Amino acid sequence: MCLSVPWRVEAVGIGVADVSHGPHRRTVSLLLLLDEPVAVGDYLLVQVGDLAAERLSPAAAEDALSLLAEIDCAAAA
């Protein structure tokens, strides 16, 4: 099950980006996004292997984050 987790772009380098989700940090490859521009504050979906697979719209990112927050609440309950 590849759970959809939006990762926030914290910094952009050449072909890579530093992203975060809560306390987690990772550097992901932007190869698959081809020429799609990526900027700090964007949200990315990251597949296994630290490859960004998709840049999310703000609405989609917010939606996914709210679902994940519900999961966190359920796990903590």
Residues that bind other proteins (CB under 8 A): 1-5, 21-24, 31-32, 34, 45, 47-51, 53-54, 63-64, 67-68, 70-71, 74-75
Least distance from other proteins to the Cβ atom of residue 13, Å: 16
Give whichever of 22 and 41 is closer to other proteins, judged by the CB atom. 22
Give whichever of 12 and 65 is closer to other proteins, judged by the CB atom. 65
- DSSP H or E stretch at residue 61: helix 58-76
CA distance 51 to 68: 20
Q: Maximum distance among all alpha carbons in the chain?
A: 43
CA distance 1 to 51: 17
Give whichever of 5 and 12 is closer to other proteins, judged by the CB atom. 5
